[in-house]
Structure formats: structure tokens, C-alpha cells
Amino acid sequence: MGSSPLMSLGVRAMAANYAAMQTTGHNIANANVAGYSRQQAILATSQGQFTGAGFFGRGVDVVGVTRSHNAFLTRESASAQSLAAMDSTRLTQLQRLENIFRTGESGLGYAATELFNAMVDLSSRPTDLATRQVVLARASDMAVRFSEAGITLDQTQDAVTAELKSSAAEVNQLTSSIAVANQRIAALRGSGQPANDVLDERDRLIGQLSQRVQVTRIEADDGTVGLFVAGGQRLVLGGSATELMVVASDVDPSRSALAMREGTAIRRIDDAGLGGGSLAGLMRFQNNDLVQGRNLVGQLAAAVGGAVNAQQLRGMSLQQPIGSAPSQPMFALGPQQALPQRGNARDPGTNLPIGSVNLTITAPAALVASDYDLRESATVPGSWDLRRLSDGLVRQVNGGDVVDGMQIDIANPQPGDRFLLQPVARAANGMQVLLTSPLDIAAASPLLATPGATNSGTAATGDLVVTASPLPFAGSSEQLQFFRLTPPVNGMDYEYVSSLTGTSTPWRTGLPVVGANGFTLQLTGVPGDGDVINIDPTPATSLASNNGNARALLALRDGLIVGGRTLTDSWSQSLADMGVRVQSAGSAASISAAVASQTEQVRSGQDGVNLDEEAARLIQFQQSYQAAAKMLQVAQSLFDTLLQATQ
Amino acid sequence: MRISTSYAFETSLANLQRRQSQLSEAQEQLTSGLRVRKPSDDPAAAAAAERALAAEARATAYMRALNDSRNAMQMTESALGDAGDMMQRARELMVAAGNGSFGDSERQSLAETLRGIRNDMLSVANRGDGAGRYLFGGQGSDVRPLRDAPGGVVYDGAAGQLNAAAGEVTPLSVDGGAVFLFAPDPGSPGGAVSIFDAMDKAITELMMPGRPSTDVALTVTTALSQFGAVQGNLSGWRARAGEALNRADGIESRLSQSKIDAQRDRSAAEDLDMVGAISDFQNKQTGYDAALKTYSMVQRMSLFDYLNP
């Protein structure tokens, strides 16, 4: 046995330790590279050489370099980050939306309250042009705030679309990089050794992709991975990637939807199946939070604007000729719309949908902050199912029915037709004041109530509110005569008879008196038997100083004019609704971020580089390397000894 | 457990940043003095603050309306006081006219004085409130509500009263017809006396020359009785105006109380509890300080530092 086995043993040991140090150096170098997995040189004992005296070890071999990788933790971390990205994206968008729901003096609710409070001064000084001008200024302040909210809502939608587009572009870039990595991994597979750094790179890309959209990952036998979104739509398969696109939504073209390009066909992705990722967060914000925000603002605009307009039309302005110039509505509101869906039957010539729906707002106070889905009833032919999207309430309606304050007229319905109804969604958009002159404000009531001169009771007239426009008996005087009912009938101790219709109505003190000529009247005191109240057209000489309609406009402030609640109640509820949304999105985001951080901590704890560990390894391998070098020295001196012996 | 060095850096940095942003959030609350600046800070409190703000704005508006009513009623009260004084002088004139030693010329000069009073009375009845309205305009009159017409003074306003919108009955005007034209007639129950008709009649009869003393005496007694009734009616209305002023004081104290309540509610809902906030801020400051210290200490430690070069 000579010295050369020892020499070669030393050389192999030096090479192996060098390789180990090289790997450690690689780890140290990549310690701060995102997604890098710590690598390890795998050393194995060389098979010993058999001699008559037994097996003599031949040293060490470098078998390969593996990366420390836990597929489960990697997957777990990617999906946790997917959810975290979705929640934080939605939170960011919601915080933008929350700016519209401002509290206090800069809020929409306060602007509306201030408009009504200006009616207080109008009631005190109906003839004063400056006071009337203040009312117009308050009205325009409110309209501007609403239309600005509408603009902000549109801008928010634009920003969502832009972000969807840039995210989709990013996704496409990532998926094509992943496809390329797949190809390289498959090609390198023949070498028999794992392509650690390419694998890391692919995992990193998939991690980035997961932040945009949650993917299901399926490993193939050739080392490639297939990535799928939304319950099975192919995003990456082997070396090819499918393009993700942003298209106009089927439901509402102003919204965006995601789709995949498959050859020439475009296949839409169901938002509900998206799972996680910032794209899912954006879609959820767009289709849920933004719609709700839009409807809450729109409901307030439509209800307040509608109530003021209606009351304005019932009053008398100071425009010439005084007493006969018809009043004009105060506000212009954005339109209500009924959008035909993509599958509706179309005219082959014009390619326009044949069937159409026309929405008319009949009772602004009954409007609900919601969109509606209208489709042909599956059970009753010719009838329609109307689903309120905010709470899922389904009602069966026919054309011409009035539901939630809107009348639904359906023209040329075709089988399978479906419509999205948006009664209030765009009401705030473009809201503006139509009145130009302070004289246009209808502060005066067209009717005046006076107790009969010979009344024996103590009844006096209080607020008279006109409830119809035009008046059912315009220009006529009405006399209501009160009679005692002894004994009282159903708790009513009076009845009154209208001179216009001759009908008698049971009444008791405290109830409003409802006249045939479209008004309600409050009485104070107690009428005597046979007493009369006269309701006459307001004389032209009293119109300028009459404040009846200004008081009726003020009464809207405390009336149930927004979905069965007062303006203030409704607005503060909207504030709370939006606040809760942002708050719960915030806690969801912080929880999912904490989960993502924990899973990433576990993953990186296993796969990441610890510099102290690498320092220790460095010393370990350095010492082994030095020992192996010593072996060479020994081998050399052995050889020298041998040479000297033979001299 | 292994710790990835780069992840340890990342999380420490993220924690530092989080603490820093919490600190700045706390500072923002302290400097603005508001705990609720947007609905998501505390949705229920934001809603409560919004309601309180609306209640405060309503009370403020009502107080403006109440002041308008109070001004109008003060002017009405003083106008009715003037009218009452005039009636007193008119009665004194009539008593003087009953003097048996007076001849036609004395009575005529008294009648002239009475005519002056009568015209003053009409201008009091048509007094404006400075805001473009007539004090005695009833439910609204855009022209002088009482007008000389053939057959006597007539009322052009609508009967009744205008009210300011202060949430309660707060009159802005008084029914001029009831004040000046329809005083209860002492002579015929259910009948009415007009101030101007009574004066006009007295003036006409006093101007009539050569009337027997019994006729003159009848004129004087009738006029005195009617003037008395009218004066009683005027002081009745004056008392009503005074009563409206009294009520205005009560309403004002209720309104200012509800305004204070609303301000208190709003403050309770959205204002910051300074003591708590400062202690919270100090807590956060200490936390941030500790995080900075440990960060610099822990991150300095590395095995590489201990390896000999």
C-alpha cells in the first residue's frame, strides 16, 4: 500500500469540504434573497476498498446539493399571503371609500340638515330675498357635495379598473415567467440533480402570483407545476400560460370583470371562486362595498332631492304672475337605470336588446339602497322575479307594479330576459340645483285655513301641509264642518264633512285633518259641534308673506323621508354601516396579515438562512478542510521519507 | 427553533414601523382632540355624534326663528301699547266733549284732535316689522293690511297668524282684523266693534253743528262704552303678545338646554379622553423605545463578530 491512496483521500476530503464551504458561502451570499431556500452539500462515505485485511475507507464523496424545502409550508405560506393580500387590498380601497362618508360639518348629512335649517329662516322672512338666496346657496352646497361624492365614486371605480388591469398585466408576466421556469426545470431534470435555484425562483414567482390571485398548484411528473384559479381554470400548464384579461362586467358595464383568453374565445371568471389575492380583494370591493357605498349615497340623494322637489312643486313661488306661475323642482338628480343583461335576446339588425325596462320613481321616501335583479319567473309564466340584492329578498312582480318606491314597466319582454335595476345607484351623480332665482323658492302654501267666524269652540288652525300637486280641486274653497259623535265611535268623538266631496271622516283631537283638496291640517283646541274650518286658496296679496310651504319643507327634516327613517337617522346609519365595513375589513386584514406572517416565519425558519448557523458551519468545514490539507502534508512527507530511504 | 436571519430583520423592522405608526396615530388623536375622526374609528360613536350634531344644528336654527318671533312680538306689544295710549286719549277727549258748557266749535276742535288720533291709529295698525312683514298682517299680507274704504276701514290680510318655525307655536304676526275691527260689542252680545267705525262715528257726530245736548250726551256715552270695549280688546291682545314673549323665554331656555345636551352628547361620542389618551401615548412611547433598544442590541449580535480574522 503506498501513499497515493492517502493523497487521494486527502484531496477528496478537501474537495468535499470545499464544496460544503461553497454551499455555505452561497447560503451566506443569498441570505437576504427573497424566497431563497438554504442549501446543503450532501456528503457520503465512499465505498471502502476490499483487501485481505478488510475494507479500507476511500474517504468522502459529494453526492449532491439539496435545498431545504418544505412543500407544505411553502404552499401554506403562499395561500396565507394570498388571503392577506386580498384583505389588505380591500381595506385600502374601503379607506378611500370611507372618505365619502365623512362625519360632522363636512358630511353629506349635515349639508342636507343645513338646507332644511335654512327653511327656518325662510319661514321667518319669506319676503326677504337675502334669506331666499341663502336657501339656494345651501341647496347648491348640498347638491355639490352629492355630485362630488358621485364623482369620487366614479373615480374609485376607475381606480379599481386601473388596478385590476395593472394587476392582470403583472399576473401575466408572472405566469409566463413561471411557464419558462417550468420549461427549464423539465429540461434540467435529465441531469439527475435538482435545479435548486430555478426551483426557488419558481416558488418565489408563485408566491408573488399568490399575492395577486390565489392559485391551486398541481405538481406534474416532469417537475413542472400546473396552476389553476377560481376552481379549476388553467392559468399555467407546463410551459404555457393563459392570458388573464380585464373586461367590462356582464352585469353592469361600468364595472370590470376578469376573463381568460382561450384561443379566440374569452371565458369569464366567476368572481365568487377567486378565493384570495389582491385581484379577489378588488373584485370583492367593487361588487360589494362600492355598490353598497354608491347605493347609500344615491338613496340619500334620491330621497332628500325627491322629497324637496315634491314639496317645492306643492308650494307657490314668487315668480310672475304671482299666484299662477307653476313651481319648478329644486334639484336635478342622476338617472335611475335598468340594464339589460348580456344574454338578453337582441334584434338581429341593430344588435340592441329587444326587451326593455323603464323605471319611474314614484315614492322617493320608499327607495331602498340596493340594486335589483329582475328575471322572468321560473314558476309563473309572464311574471317576474325581483331579487333585492342588498338582502336577497325575492318578490314576484308584474309589469307596471310599484315596488320599493319605483314603478317597473316592462316592454317587449323576451324569454330569458334579465335586467339589473339601479333605482338610486347614480342619483347623486350630476345632482344640481335647477332654480336660478331666489323668487323660485316656493315658500308659500297655496291653501289657507281659517276657523269660521261664528265658531263656538276653541279650535284654531295650526300647520297646513299641502300633500298633492296639482291640487285635486285647484282654485276651490273647501269647508270642513265638525260634528260631535255621542257616544264616540271607535274612540273617535268627532266626524268632519268636506264641502267638496260630502264625505265624512271620523276624527278625534290630536289627529291631523285630511282635506279632499290635498292637504293635512293640524288643529289646536276643541271644535264645537257644527263648527267649520275654511280652507281657501291663498289670496295673491298674501303669497309673498305666507310661509306655509317653507314650514312644510322644514318639516321634511324630521319626517321619515329616507327609507322609513329621518334624514339624520338614515345618514348616521350609513356612516355606521360604512364604519363597520372598514373596521371589520381592518381587523380581517390584521388577522390575515398575522397569519401570513406566522406561516412565513415557520417556513423561513425551516428554509431560510441563519447567519450564525452558517458561520458555525463555515468554521466546521474550514477545520475539516485544514485537517484534510494536513493529510496531504502527511502523505507528502511519507513520500519524501520513502524517497530518502531509497537514496 | 431556527430563525431565518433575514426574516428576523424583516419582522423586527415591520414591528418597529407598526409601533411608529401607532405612536403617530396616538399623537394625531392628541393634537386633534378627537377620538373619532372617521366612521371606522368607532362606528356607533360616529353615528351618535352625527345625531347630536343634527340636534345641535336644529336647536341653533330654532333659536334664530325664536328670535325672529320675539322681535316681532316685542314690536307688536309696543304697537299695542301705543294703540292703548291713543284710546286712552280718545276717551279723555270724549269725556271733555260731554262738557255741557262746550259749544259746536269746541266740539269740532275736539273732533279734529280725535281724527288725528284715528289716523295715527291706522298707521299703528299698518306698522311693519322691519323684515317686510306687517305686524298685524295675520296669515300674511303683502300690502298694508288695514285700508280706508267706502263704508269704513277694511282688513285685507288673511285671518289668523303666521308662526315662526321654532318647533312650537311662536307667532310672527297678529290678526289685525281681530285686534282693530272685531272687538266684542258691549251693546250687542256676539256683535263686534271696529275701532275706526267707532271713532269715525264719534267724529262725524261731534262735527255736526247745533245738536241738542241730549244727542251729544248719547254720542259721548256710546263712544265711551265702545272705546272702552276697544281698549279692553287692545289690552287683551297686548297681554297675548306679552304672553308670547314670556313663552319665548321658556322656549329659549329649553332650546339652549337641548343645544347644550347635544353638544355634550357629541363631545362624549367623539372627543378624546385626554387623561387616558396621554397615558396611552406614554405607554406606546415606552413600547417603541423598548423596541428600538432591543432591536439595536439583538441585531448587533452575530457569531461572525466572535470569529478571529
Cis peptide before A487 (omega within 30 of 0): yes
**Residue A623 pLDDT level (bands cut at 50, 70, 90):** very high
**Cβ-contact B116, B197 below 8 angstroms:** no
> Average of pLDDT values for B80-89?
94
Rounded Cα gap, residues A242 and B173, in angstroms: 80
> Average of pLDDT values for A455-471?
89
Question: What is the pLDDT, as a whole number, of residue A577?
Answer: 94
Interface contact B58, partner A, CB < 8 A: yes
Q: B157-209, pLDDT tens digit by residue?
A: 888 888 988 888 899 999 999 999 988 887 777 788 999 999 999 999 999 98
- Which of B10, B67, B139, B169 should be substituted to probe chain A, the one whose Cβ sees the most A Cβ atoms within 10 Å? B139
Query: Quick one: closest CA in B to A534, which residue?
Result: B159
Chain B neighbors of A121, CB-CB under 8 A:
61, 64-65, 68
ipTM of the complex: 0.85
CB–CB contact B270 A103 (8 Å): yes
Interface contact B63, partner A, CB < 8 A: no
Rounded Cα gap, residues B300 and B27, in angstroms: 31
Please report, as a single letter, which amino acid is at residue B29. Q
Question: What is the pLDDT, as a whole number, of residue B309?
Answer: 63
Interface contact A179, partner B, CB < 8 A: no
Question: What is the pLDDT, as a whole number, of residue B130?
Answer: 81
> Average of pLDDT values for A222-228?
92
Interface contact A448, partner B, CB < 8 A: yes
Q: Residue ranges of the domains in chain B?
A: 55-266
**Residue A544 pLDDT level (bands cut at 50, 70, 90):** confident
**Residue A275 pLDDT level (bands cut at 50, 70, 90):** confident
Question: What is the pLDDT, as a whole number, of residue A3?
Answer: 54
Tell whether the model's pLDDT for residue A66 goes beyond 70: yes
Question: What is the pLDDT, as a whole number, of residue A463?
Answer: 86
**Residue B301 pLDDT level (bands cut at 50, 70, 90):** confident
HSE-CB of A546 using CA atoms within 13 angstroms:
31
Rounded Cα gap, residues A580 and B46, in angstroms: 11
Tell whether the model's pLDDT for residue A150 goes beyond 80: yes
B76-107 burial by CB neighbour count: b if 16+ within 10 A, else e? bbebbbbbbebbeebbebbeebbeeebeeeeb
Tell whether the model's pLDDT for residue A146 goes beyond 70: yes
The pLDDT > 90 percentage for chain B reads 61
- Which of A536, A547, A572 should be substituted to probe chain B, the one whose Cβ sees the most B Cβ atoms within 10 Å? A572
Question: What is the pLDDT, as a whole number, of residue B297?
Answer: 83
Question: What is the pLDDT, as a whole number, of residue A542?
Answer: 86
Chain B neighbors of A101, CB-CB under 8 A:
38-39
Rounded Cα gap, residues A325 and B103, in angstroms: 61
> Average of pLDDT values for A213-232?
89
> Average of pLDDT values for A198-202?
92
pLDDT, mean over chain A:
92
Rounded Cα gap, residues A167 and A170, in angstroms: 5
Chain A neighbors of B9, CB-CB under 8 A:
32
Chain A neighbors of B54, CB-CB under 8 A:
109-110, 113, 567-568
> Average of pLDDT values for A539-554?
90
Gap from A554 CA to chain B (nearest CA, Å): 8
Question: What is the pLDDT, as a whole number, of residue A117?
Answer: 94
* DSSP result, chain B: ----HHHHHHHHHHHHHHHHHHHHHHHHHHHH-BS-SSGGG-HHHHHHHHHHHHHHHHHHHHHHHHHHHHHHHHHHHHHHHHHHHHHHHHHHHHHHHT-TT--HHHHHHHHHHHHHHHHHHHHHHT-B-SSS-BTTBBT--SS-SEEEETTEEEE-SBSS--EEESSSEEES--BHIIIII-EEPSSSTT-EE-HHHHHHHHHHHHHSTT--HHHHHHHHHHHHHHHHHHHHHHHHHHHHHHHHHHHHHHHHHHHHHHHHHHHHHHHHHHB--HHHHHHHHHHHHHHHHHHHHHHHHHHH--GGGGS--
* Cβ neighbours, 10 Å, residue B59: 22
Question: What is the pLDDT, as a whole number, of residue B9?
Answer: 86
Tell whether the model's pLDDT for residue A642 goes beyond 90: no
Q: Lowest-pLDDT range, A3-7, A194-198, B210-214, B281-285?
A: A3-7
The pLDDT > 70 percentage for chain A reads 100
Q: A164-185, pLDDT tens digit by residue?
A: 999 999 999 999 999 999 999 9
How buried is A589 (Cβ within 10 angstroms: 0-12 exposed, 13-18 middle, 19+ buried)? buried
Tell whether the model's pLDDT for residue A543 goes beyond 80: yes
CB–CB contact A127 B139 (8 Å): no
- Whole-angstrom CA distances from A509 to A505, A526, A532 are 13, 7, 15
Tell whether the model's pLDDT for residue A1 goes beyond 50: no
* CATH class of the domain whose range is B55-266: mainly alpha
Interface contact B302, partner A, CB < 8 A: yes
Tell whether the model's pLDDT for residue B40 goes beyond 70: yes
CB–CB contact B38 A568 (8 Å): no
**Residue B73 pLDDT level (bands cut at 50, 70, 90):** very high
> Average of pLDDT values for A412-420?
91
**Residue A472 pLDDT level (bands cut at 50, 70, 90):** very high
Of the two residues B83 and A49, the one the predictor is more confident about is B83
